[in-house]
Homo-oligomer: A and B are copies of this chain.
Amino acid sequence: MNKKYIGFLHPGAMGISLAATAQNTGHIAYWVSQGRSPDTYERAAKQSLVETQTIQELCDTCSVIISICPPQAATEVAEQVLACSFTGIYADANAISPQRAKRIAQLMNAAGVEFVDGSIIGGPAWKPDTTWFYLSGPAADHVAVCFSGGPLATEVIGDNIGKASALKMCYAANTKATSALLGATVAAAEEMGVRNELEKHWSRQDSDYTQNTHARITRVTAKAWRFSGEMEEIATTFENAGLPNGFHLAAREIYQRLAKFKGADPLPSVEDVLNTLLNPGKS
């Protein structure tokens, strides 16, 4: 097998699991330390990623770069790589609209970089059958082979740039907007003094529903700061498909209100979540 030098921008909770999969496949995983947090440093060290100081150094070393970052940062990361005259394969694995994926692809192609569209469905890939890495584009196979040796499932779904992103947008359109809607619904019930009645009714139909809902609306808080950007990408995606963008603009608003819980551990209580949703100006 052809051992590849693969750069990860940047190894968060998801990215580090992809880097580990690449290592298990027989490749060398790199990261950039400049400007990253102590948490990222610790993750990279624990997984024995090879440190480069700068994006320039990473671009000079690696033939494949995987962009895995909050959707809000996807274009900026691509531009940073382009500024380093990178000439390999660049895969964007982020939750971005197909429109944004195509715009990044145009920039990359104009600079002689091969762009691969990617998207990840599932949590960090440490166990089989939990996480899928979908890829599309003419060079998608070259990225898929980087991750064949671990629990991550990779699947190439065609030649079109934007297809992997479109799949992610549709999948998350449902899951993450529904979580936001549930948060807003329980908050509305709380505000109007009918939360007990609503939860009692839910329990009549499904004894676990209320508990599952509470788990769901508290679980999203730690990642809400990132989800708000994803909701904006989905709103753009729906608008471009000729469908209403309001579900996801409203979900963005809900996640923006919850952004202060970034990285919360332990997670806030249901009461904290509702109080924050109902008093967005206060902290």
Which residues of A in the span 171-229 have a Cβ within 8 Å of any Cβ on B? 171, 173-174, 177-178, 180-182, 184-189, 191-194, 197-198, 201, 204
Number of A interface residues in the complex (CB < 8 A)? 52
Nearest CB on B from A169, distance (A): 7
Instruction: Tell yes or no: A58 within 8 A of B by CB.
Output: no
Instruction: Tell yes or no: A20 within 8 A of B by CB.
Output: no
B197/A157 in contact, CB under 8 A: yes
Which residues of A in the span 149-184 have a Cβ within 8 Å of any Cβ on B? 157, 160, 162-163, 166-167, 169-171, 173-174, 177-178, 180-182, 184
Partner of A249, one of B134, B246, B253, B277: B246
Nearest CB on B from A236, distance (A): 11
Instruction: Please measure, in the bound complex, the distance between the C-alpha atom of A26 and the C-alpha atom of B87, giving whole angstroms.
Output: 84
Q: List, in ascending order, chain B residues with CB within 8 A of A242's CB.
A: 191, 278, 280
Instruction: Tell yes or no: A132 within 8 A of B by CB.
Output: yes
Partner of A245, one of B98, B194, B250: B250
Instruction: Tell yes or no: A238 within 8 A of B by CB.
Output: yes
Nearest CB on B from A238, distance (A): 6
Instruction: Please measure, in the bound complex, the distance between the C-alpha atom of A170 and the C-alpha atom of B223, giving whole angstroms.
Output: 25
Minimal Cβ-Cβ distance residue in B for A166: B192
A132/B170 in contact, CB under 8 A: no
Instruction: Mark A residues whose CB is within 8 Å of B.
Output: 98, 121, 129, 132, 134, 157, 160, 162-163, 166-167, 169-171, 173-174, 177-178, 180-182, 184-189, 191-194, 197-198, 201, 204, 237-238, 241-247, 249-251, 253-254, 277-278, 280
